[in-house]
Amino acid sequence: MKKIFYALPILILIVGLSSCQNNSETKECCKEDYSSVSDEELDHLGITNRDFMSAASKRALKWPKIGNEWFVEFAVTDLKGDLAYEEGIVRRDPSAMIKEDGKYYVWYSRSTGKTDGFAGDIENEKVFPWDRCDIWYATSEDGITWNEEGPAVKRGEKGAYDDRSVFTVEIMVHEGKYYLCYQTVKSPYNVRVKNQVGLAWADSPNGPWTKSEEPILSPADNGVWEGEADNRFKVLKKGDFDSHKVHDPCIIPFKGQFYLYYKGEQMGEEITFGGRQIRHGVAIADNPRGPYVKSKYNPISNSGHEICVWPYNGGIASLITTDGPEKNTMQWSPDGINFEIMSVIPGAPHAIGLNRTADNEKEPTEILRWGLTHEYMNYNYQYIRRFTSQRKTSHTAIGEDS
Ligand code: AAL
């Protein structure tokens, strides 16, 4: 695949501004020669006059020369059966789906009752919808009507690293064994609590699951809090991109190793011009159970939220949603580490659970034709829904030929 270069519009703007300090200089320093740009390229971009180009037109000339193969639009609909919305129950963050004995399987975070937040008695109340969760699973013949089968992995005994909540799970199948990786929190769940990643394995998708005695991934330990424990924004030093939380783990077998993709949250998180400071990282192991070693290249994204990654064309594709300047982009990397933007989409469902039975090599976005997502009915209760997507290659009215 052609190596592409994507220049972020704002970066170009900043570089442009800093090299041109005043108007008179602007004329001299920023005189750029566009004589070599072809007439066809200008026509394609709708640029009328190469001698009078706006900043936006100049940025457009720097866009990568890629087609619309990665451009899709999504729709979301309800599920039926046990995964339909149920008052009083939180079901969220669905894993990918696998298929065994003619049935799809999905795992997800499940908790009951409303969310109290951090202002009250955190020892006994529920601070987030994903607090006090266990991991449950459900099966379906058609991916639409689901039967809830029961718990797969429960919270640990008091004092264990996962005694408060186990949530946001992913499934990996490798050599006949099943692996669930998921987030863990140890009580007390205060705003500064570090979130880790646990692993459980089984010989069948129905369990029984054996849990790792220790977390397989932890936040970087190089941030320094400042002042009171009830404020997560005050820091003396922020530390690495994942100094506070490692989230949304997803393990992909890749090039003979195991790539654990995850979302990092940083101590002292700020809001930037692109929103929350959220980035992705990867940790690599020779065996599914670890040890997982964080890549020296981390972070490997500068944006995103829940991890949504799949193998494609000898590399790894990633859907980047929700946070940061590169939100709503599809990216691809030949080595699983260096990702480039392949499309900028209108938006994507959150917390996607991919259909791992899809023919992911058929075309870049084939795996996104349908899958699972979650939505907020309200802040207390979330439920799992179905998404579909379709490639869009022309913008037509009803009855109009493309
Ligand atoms: C999600 C995920 C993680 C967060 C919370 C529950 O969708 O990013 O799992 O902790 O929100």
pTM of the model: 0.92
| Cross-strand partners of 170 | 181
127 touches 106 (CB < 8 A) = no
Provide mean pLDDT across the span 212-230: 96
Q: Cα(122) to centroid of ligand 1, in Å?
A: 19
302 touches 282 (CB < 8 A) = no
- Mutation test residue for ligand 1: of 247, 263, 322, 381, the one with most atoms within 8 Å of CB: 247
Q: Is 374 in the pocket of ligand 1 (CB under 6 A)?
A: no
- Using CB atoms within 10 A of its CB, is residue 159 exposed (0-12), middle (13-18) or buried (19+)? exposed
Least confident of 10-14, 130-134, 383-387: 10-14
The pLDDT assigned to 14 comes to 40
Provide mean pLDDT across the span 226-255: 96
Query: Is residue 19 within a helix (H) or strand (E), and if so which, with residue range?
Result: helix 9-19
Residue nearest to atom 8 of ligand 1 (CA): 306
Largest CA distance in the chain: 73
Tell me the CA distances in angstroms from 275 to 225, 269, 271, one per residue in order: 22, 10, 5
- Using CB atoms within 10 A of its CB, is residue 58 exposed (0-12), middle (13-18) or buried (19+)? middle
- Measured between alpha carbons, how far is 91 from 387 in angstroms, rounded to an integer? 16
Q: Cα(193) to centroid of ligand 1, in Å?
A: 14
Tens digits of residue pLDDT in 370-388: 999 999 999 999 999 999 9
Q: Cα(144) to centroid of ligand 1, in Å?
A: 24
Tens digits of residue pLDDT in 314-327: 999 999 999 999 99
Provide mean pLDDT across the span 169-188: 98
- Measured between alpha carbons, how far is 55 from 9 in angstroms, rounded to an integer? 10
Burial 4-43 (b: 16+ CB within 10 A, else e): eebeeeeeeeeeeeeeeeeeeeeeeeeeeeeeeeeeeebe
Q: Cα(367) to centroid of ligand 1, in Å?
A: 22
Q: Is 351 in the pocket of ligand 1 (CB under 6 A)?
A: yes
